[in-house]
Structure formats: C-alpha cells, structure tokens
Amino acid sequence: MAIQTNYETHDMVYPDAYMVIRKITTGHADEDYFEFNEETGFENLKFKKVYESMMYVYIYSGKTARDNTVVPIDVINMPFEYDMASTKNIYEQAYDHLSKSPMLAELIHINV
C-alpha cells in the first residue's frame, strides 16, 4: 500500500510523491482516574489501558524512487489511535489516519 499525493518540502514540490508506512510501534500505558462510589461516599482510584501508536512514514519523490528503494525525500513520525476492536489491521488503520491528516492535500489512494 501507498498514498500518492502532492508533497512540498524544503522549497521543492513533488506532484507525485509516494508515502509509505515503513514501521509502526505500539505500546500501552495505564491512565488513572477517580470514580465516585455512591455506597461508600468515597472516590476510588481506577486505571484503564491507553494504547499509544506511532507510524513512521517514508516519503519518496515518486513511484520509481519508491520501487527502487531510493533514499526518501522526507521521513515523518505521526501518532494515531489503534482500535483493537476494529476489523481493519493496524496498517489499514494507520493509512486511514494518514489519509485524513490535514497536512495532505489532493490525496489519491494507490494500492501498490
């Protein structure tokens, strides 16, 4: 999978840039909160798992550069929410998030 888009960096415009997610890391942390207990009148400290995911996106100048693994013109790291209950795998969810990112304009999806 890849996303083809217009991409601008360092005063250069790449009208057919390819964005490819090369790596995803995910982990979890415990987030604490208080919940009021009506029976006792006290607040109980509770914990819930919060998942943290990060995608690493390589941006190539075009399809030829991407196919030949040329050094990318840019690399970005972007956090996203991984929904473990989703029927989509983690990469599909990451690409969905990336495609809705406000930094992208005139987005065209390409499955290659």
The alpha-helical segments, DSSP class H, found in the chain are 63-67, 90-99
Mean pLDDT of 27-52: 91
What's the predicted TM-score (pTM) here? 0.73
Q: Where are the domains of the chain?
A: 2-110
pLDDT digits (tens, 9 = 90+) for 50-70: 888 999 999 999 989 999 989
Task: Characterize the bridge pairing of strands 12-37 and 42-60.
Answer: antiparallel
Nearest to 91 by CA among 10, 24, 14, 11: 24
* pLDDT above 50 (res 96): yes
Indicate the range of 19-23, 58-62, 64-68, 99-103 predicted with least confidence: 99-103
Pairing of strands 42-60, 74-80: antiparallel
In the predicted model, what is the mean pLDDT of the chain?
Answer: 86
